[in-house]
Amino acid sequence: RPPEVLIVDSIVDTGRTLRELRAKDWLHEYNVHYAVTYCDPKQHSVVDTFWHRKHTNQWLEFPWESIVDDIGPKSKAFAKLEK
C-alpha cells in the first residue's frame, strides 16, 4: 500500500494549482488526498474534500495574505519552492 499524503490549500478558484500538482510524476507513488477550505463550484472535480463552496467572484483575502516575512514577497517565496 502506498504512503498517504495530504495536500491542503486555502482556496481552489481556477483549479490550475491542483491540476499541476496532480500531473507531477513523483506524486503518483503516493495515495494523495487534496483538501481545500474554499472551492469554486466548477472545480469540485479537482479536490477530494472541501469545507465551503465559494459562490462569489469576489476575491477572498485571508489574514495571512497581508503578511510579508523575512523571505520577501510571496512571489519570491513560491519561486524558491518551485526550484
Tens-place pLDDT, residues 12-45: 888 898 888 888 888 888 999 999 998 988 888 8
Asked whether the beta carbons of 9 and 43 are under 8 A apart, the reply is no
pLDDT in tens, 57-81: 777 777 666 665 545 555 554 554 4
Distance CA 69, CA 5 (A): 27
- Cβ–Cβ contacts within 10 Å for residue 34, how many? 19
Among residues 8, 31, 28, the alpha carbon closest in space to that of 18 is found at: 8
Asked whether the beta carbons of 40 and 67 are under 8 A apart, the reply is no
